[in-house]
Amino acid sequence: MNRFKQLWQLISALFREIIREPGVLFWGILFPILMSLGLGLAFTKKADVIRKVAVINLADRSQAGSENSVSGFLENNCEKNVSAEKDTWLWKYTIRDEKLGNSVFLFYDMKWDEAVRFLKRGTINVLLLGRNDSIEYHFDPMNPDAQLTYLKLSSIVGKGEVQEVQTNSEIKPLTVTGTRYIDFLVPGLISMGVMMSCMWGISYGIIEKRSKKLLRRLVATPMKKSHFLIALMTVRITMNFIESSVLFLFALFAFKMTIQGNISALILMFLAGNIAFAGIAVLVSSHTSNTEVGNGLINFVVFPMMVLSGIFFSYQNFPDWSIPVIKNLPLTMLTDGIRSIFNEGAGYHEVALPILILTATGALFFGAGLKIFKWH
């Protein structure tokens, strides 16, 4: 009986210790509730599902012919954007469904090369080409969102109403390197790996050492805080290079991926992303000694960007009002930059601005973290 009493007293004491820490309660209980509430209000409101489609060579009828089922469908059944500007949709068609939500198709008039570039970025996932007596659907058959877009699209093009898939439609799988879903995914995984490695490897490592009083011992040494942090960042960035190289080599042999752009620009882009997240990690871990509070702070940085920054799917699927904010997140900049080098052949000129922004972000956060950093 005494043993159970002692066990109960110990459990009660530990619970009281947790309750006395307001930071633990906030990051462990309130923060997940606030996060789910914010994302729920922003993204679970029943809204139209936007599906963007590139229509090839409507302006140039030399290949498609002066009139075909695609152009006839667009002109006769779709709402036309009379004030269309560059890079905006030209036609819109809506499939209304009260139970599943409306599907809105936005059609863009593009040349082939331009459409492929947008597909690589995840902005569109189906290319539509109409010839005199047939319709060609170009997409990655391994992309489930592209498959769903095709199934819905093939049921309406030609008549303007839902019907069976036409027998004269033809699927043209896009398996060229850079247009596949795996080509979209791997750069995102590399970027996410950088963020997770820096945030958990640097931030949590510092917080854990501080909580165990290990950093206190360094106060008596002549070591400067800046030297300690720079050494920690250097080791972590080096490990990130090794880990990302292993992932790329696996993708190279398993999926025949290639780097179409400038390799030295890719290295600079990768380094800038590491500097940015290492700087953020230093600031996050600069003051707290409670590992549970540290977990909450790290998740506060990691979780929103992991969801919003287009790692697994294009952020173009989010509401229009959120896209300018998402584009300026560090993880989005890093992911877009690496994808453009991998899949679009980008060089220094295309990624110079995000490299500068990410490097400046890392330096700013590192400076702020160094200023308030404490050993114990």
- The alpha carbon dihedral of 154, 158, 164, 165 has a sign of negative
- What is the distance of C-alpha 86 from the center of its chain? 25
Say yes or no: 96 and 169 in one domain: yes
Domain final residue pick, 119, 151, 173? 173
Say yes or no: 316 and 192 in one domain: yes
- The alpha carbon dihedral of 354, 360, 362, 364 has a sign of negative
Q: 247 with 190: CB under 8 angstroms?
A: yes
Q: Where are the beta strands (DSSP E) in the chain?
A: 49-56, 79-80, 91-95, 103-110, 126-130, 135-139, 169-173
Q: Is residue 41 part of a domain?
A: no
**Token pair in block for residue 129:** 């080409």
Find the mean pLDDT for residues 292-318. 85
State the Cα–Cα distance between residues 315 and 66, nearest whole angstrom.
36
Say yes or no: 358 and 213 in one domain: yes
Q: Is residue 65 part of a domain?
A: yes
Say yes or no: 278 and 356 in one domain: yes
Residue 234: half-sphere exposure toward Cβ, Cα within 13 Å: 6
Q: 353 with 268: CB under 8 angstroms?
A: no
The better pLDDT of the pair 72, 334 is held by: 334
Average pLDDT along the chain: 81
Segment of 53-57, 101-105, 135-139, 270-274 carrying the highest mean pLDDT = 270-274
Long-range contacts of 28-31 (CB under 8 A, 24+ apart): 28/292, 28/295, 28/296, 31/296, 31/299, 31/300
Total domains present in the chain = 2
- Helix (H, G, I), strand (E, B), or coil: what is residue 156? coil
Say yes or no: 157 and 222 in one domain: no
Say yes or no: 74 and 220 in one domain: no
The structure's pTM equals 0.77
Of 206-215, 245-254, 268-277, where does mean pLDDT reach its minimum? 206-215
Q: Is residue 40 part of a domain?
A: no
Query: Which residues, other chains included, contact 195 with Cβ-Cβ below 8 Å and sequence gap of 6+?
Result: 277, 302, 305, 306, 330, 331, 334
Query: Would strands 126-130 and 135-139 be described as parallel, antiparallel, or unpaired?
Result: antiparallel
234, containing H or E segment: helix 225-255
Residue 166 has pLDDT above 50, yes or no: no
Say yes or no: 113 and 258 in one domain: no
Domain final residue pick, 126, 142, 173? 173
305, containing H or E segment: helix 291-308
Q: Is residue 29 part of a domain?
A: no
Q: Is residue 1 part of a domain?
A: no
State the Cα–Cα distance between residues 149 and 166, nearest whole angstrom.
15
Say yes or no: 225 and 362 in one domain: yes
pLDDT for the residue 355: 96
What count of residues does the chain have? 376
Q: 27 with 293: CB under 8 angstroms?
A: yes
Q: What is the pLDDT of residues 80-118, one digit of tens each?
A: 887 756 667 888 888 887 766 778 888 888 888 888 888
Which structural domain, as residue segments, surrounds residue 359?
A: 181-372
pLDDT for the residue 165: 37
Domain final residue pick, 173, 195, 224? 173
pLDDT for the residue 31: 61
Say yes or no: 288 and 167 in one domain: no
CA-based end-to-end distance of the chain: 41
Say yes or no: 211 and 157 in one domain: no
Residue 44 has pLDDT above 60, yes or no: no
Q: Is residue 356 part of a domain?
A: yes
Q: Is residue 42 part of a domain?
A: no
pLDDT for the residue 217: 83
Say yes or no: 155 and 271 in one domain: no
DSSP code for 177:
T
- Of the candidates 89, 77, 48, 61, the residue with the CA atom closest to the CA atom of residue 155: 77
Q: Is residue 23 part of a domain?
A: no
Say yes or no: 158 and 241 in one domain: no
**How big is the CA angle at 203 (ends 267 and 188), to the nearest 5 degrees?**
40
- Helix (H, G, I), strand (E, B), or coil: what is residue 78? coil
Q: Where are the alpha helices (DSSP H) in 95-224?
A: 112-121, 144-154, 181-198, 205-211
